Amino acid sequence: MAASALVCNPVDVESFTSPVVKGGFHKRTCSAEGDIQIYLATLGSSSVLPMRVLSSDTIASVKLRIHMCQGFFTNQQRLVYGGRELVRDDVLIKDYGVCNGEMVHLVLRLLDVIDVNVKTVSGKEYVFKVRRNNRVRDLKQRISEREGGLALDNQQLVFKGKRLQDHERIAGLHSEEDVVIHLVVRRTAKVRSKSVGSDIELTVTSSELESVIDRFVPRRASEAPLAVASSSSTLNSVEKTPSLPPPVYGVEGKEQVMSGVVYDHFVLEPARDFVISETPDSLVNALRGARAGFQEGRVPVLSSEGSGGTYFLKNPEGKNVGVFKPVDEEPMAVNNPRAGSLRSASSEGLKSGIRVGEGAMREAAAYILDHPATGRIRDSTSRNEEGFAGVPPTIIARASHKAFNNSREGGTRATKVGSLQQFVESFSNCEDMGPAKFPVNEVHKISVLDMRLANTDRNGGNILVCKDDGGSFKLVPIDHGYCLPDKFEDVTFEWLYWPQARVPFNHATLEYISKLEADWDISVLAAHGLVLRPECARVFRVATMLLKKGAASGLTPFEIGSMMSREKFDEKSAVEIMMEEAEAEFASSSYISENAFMDILSDIMDRRMELADAKLT
């Protein structure tokens, strides 16, 4: 496409009379051929950009144009029209009903990248773009590339007078201002030992060790005994060594006077319906840590990524332990903290089939439904067992803190309800890595979860990448606020086109799938106070049925997932067609129960599976 087709002149929002955006874009058709003039409103900015696109442009090519014009990478962009996200990149913008003169909102998923300035003693300065969850060692690697292969062990990085350890995360530097790190190059040090009486004295000879850390290290540290030359002990002694207050759990925090400091009022506790005896110890400890962090004045930090209010809760040492997502700060909800955020014209949120404010309960539901590999429901004795897909432990919690967004209440601090999830240390996510190295089972476990829950938001950014004890990649699924929808329309799976999805399930996975029972799961959710709307319960039953029948027929995750997800925006998926058929048959029958509907659908699905089988053989 020609870049010249693009016009990007910011115009003042006041002088621009925007046509009213009407909902229900999928019902509208646009006959426009050739150019379409749209207006792009970026959340968080007061300007509106007129932009000319072609009727033959797909959502992907529109995003590319925005990238060329605005510099935002395509995977950072979410386009919203008529209150709904334009989820399918391969669909033409005109097929979404976007016509001349319409307003399209651009929601940016800000990548978690910050600028880090590195200054060397000799006066050189570098600026590196670094992801917040990168470690100091990663930064050293980047420096090494710029500094002609300078060995990592010869680099000493110092921030605000403190030596940084290799395992520390860049995110931990928490600087309001620019992050400026000083690089000290340590030439190869020689270690010599000498017998002194019955002891051995070690000495380190370093030709150069000069820098801002001199105040912790004797100037010209050469020939200094190791106990002195190793400045880390000195540094530790000036660092804050907080002691954990005795655990307070499930009790409302009052104004506290600790060490003479008055701390603000806060609340952090599990919501009433949650059974603490069934909550894994790791999450109970995270909750305790976060409470202690609140007491020590650690402020929840709003994630720089994502479109909703996602807060990282910290323990007294400043380490992330929990992730809190308040219901009233979800995308399109009243207190969404992202500047200029959208409001929903209907009750629906960014994805079809999910209402605004339903995200938190879905986050908790995904954890509850992620039964351990045994297939058993977690109880007080098995509460510490990890789920088959490894959804991080999640509960519904109540919390109040001045750091949360209460602008709708004029700043009055409200006690919010939201999901509280255990924070997971990771080194990347699937958006930043190709899938080639992911073990098949890791991909399959996520495919099983997504298909059961008819997930409408499985993009690569919502799968964290960690390493297990043996060093293999481990995938951790997060962000389940858009699962369990009331229709299949927006179901999409990032993993569908990964090679692992075309490998048949192994025996253990087949056994796990065979034990799944949607009705039982629905009652387990209800026992936790999470009651699905009847339409959502139906979609969940249908999704579980399709997964079970597909797996039993030997279909791969790709084959089953393809039946659940639309290939083209305006063409219904196989499961939607089967549901329509069943609904028609049900309506003309004398049956009234949901079970009867499911029986009708089961027969239709069996016929479909037989057809698929016949095609395969």
Ligand X SMILES: Nc1ncnc2c1ncn2[C@@H]1O[C@H](COP(=O)(O)OP(=O)(O)OP(=O)(O)O)[C@@H](O)[C@H]1O
- Kindly list the residues in this chain that would bind ligand X in the complex (CB under 6 A): 109, 303, 305-308, 310, 323, 392, 421, 423-424, 457, 461-462, 478-479, 481
Identity of the residue, 203 or 304, whose beta carbon is nearer to ligand X in the bound complex: 304
Bridge partners (DSSP) listed for residue 159: 162
CB under 8 A, 24+ apart: contacts of 529-535 = 529/271, 529/272, 529/273, 529/274, 529/396, 530/273, 530/361, 530/364, 530/365, 530/368, 530/396, 532/365, 532/484, 533/486, 534/594, 535/353, 535/486, 535/487
Identity of the residue, 143 or 391, whose beta carbon is nearer to ligand X in the bound complex: 391
Bridge partners (DSSP) listed for residue 324: 311, 420
Spatial separation of the C-alpha atoms in residues 570 and 496, rounded to whole Å: 19
Rounded least distance, CB 207 to ligand X, Å: 42
> Residue 496: which residues within 8 A CB-CB, separation 6 or more?
557, 558, 561, 562, 565
| DSSP string covering 177-214 | S-EEEEEEEPPPPEEEEEEETTEEEEEEE-S---SGGG
User: Cα 149 from chain centroid?
Assistant: 34
Identity of the residue, 77 or 447, whose beta carbon is nearer to ligand X in the bound complex: 77
Rounded least distance, CB 478 to ligand X, Å: 4
Paired sense of beta strands 155-159 and 162-163, if any: antiparallel
> Residue 606: which residues within 8 A CB-CB, separation 6 or more?
549
Three-class SS of 35-93: EEEEEEEECCCCEEEEEEEECCCEHHHHHHHHHHHHCCCHHHEEEEECCEECCCCCCEH
Rounded least distance, CB 329 to ligand X, Å: 9
What tokens does 367 get?
């954890």
Identity of the residue, 388 or 586, whose beta carbon is nearer to ligand X in the bound complex: 388
Rounded least distance, CB 592 to ligand X, Å: 38
Rounded least distance, CB 300 to ligand X, Å: 12
Identity of the residue, 156 or 405, whose beta carbon is nearer to ligand X in the bound complex: 405
Three-class SS of 125-158: EEEEEEECCCEHHHHHHHHHHHCCCCCHHHEEEE
Identity of the residue, 445 or 608, whose beta carbon is nearer to ligand X in the bound complex: 445
In this structure, is the dihedral angle defined by the CA atoms of residues 524, 526, 531 and 535, taken in order, positive or negative? Answer: positive
User: Which three-class secondary structure state does DSSP give residue 278?
Assistant: helix
Rounded least distance, CB 308 to ligand X, Å: 3
Rounded least distance, CB 369 to ligand X, Å: 17
Identity of the residue, 323 or 491, whose beta carbon is nearer to ligand X in the bound complex: 323
CA distances from 392 to 260, 385, 466 (A): 37, 11, 13
Residue nearest to ligand X (CB): 306
Identity of the residue, 305 or 517, whose beta carbon is nearer to ligand X in the bound complex: 305
Identity of the residue, 366 or 513, whose beta carbon is nearer to ligand X in the bound complex: 366
Identity of the residue, 307 or 492, whose beta carbon is nearer to ligand X in the bound complex: 307
Rounded least distance, CB 304 to ligand X, Å: 8
Rounded least distance, CB 532 to ligand X, Å: 20
Strands (E), 402-548: 416-422, 428-429, 463-467, 473-477
Rounded least distance, CB 422 to ligand X, Å: 6
What tokens does 527 get?
């026992």
Identity of the residue, 97 or 318, whose beta carbon is nearer to ligand X in the bound complex: 318
Rounded least distance, CB 303 to ligand X, Å: 4
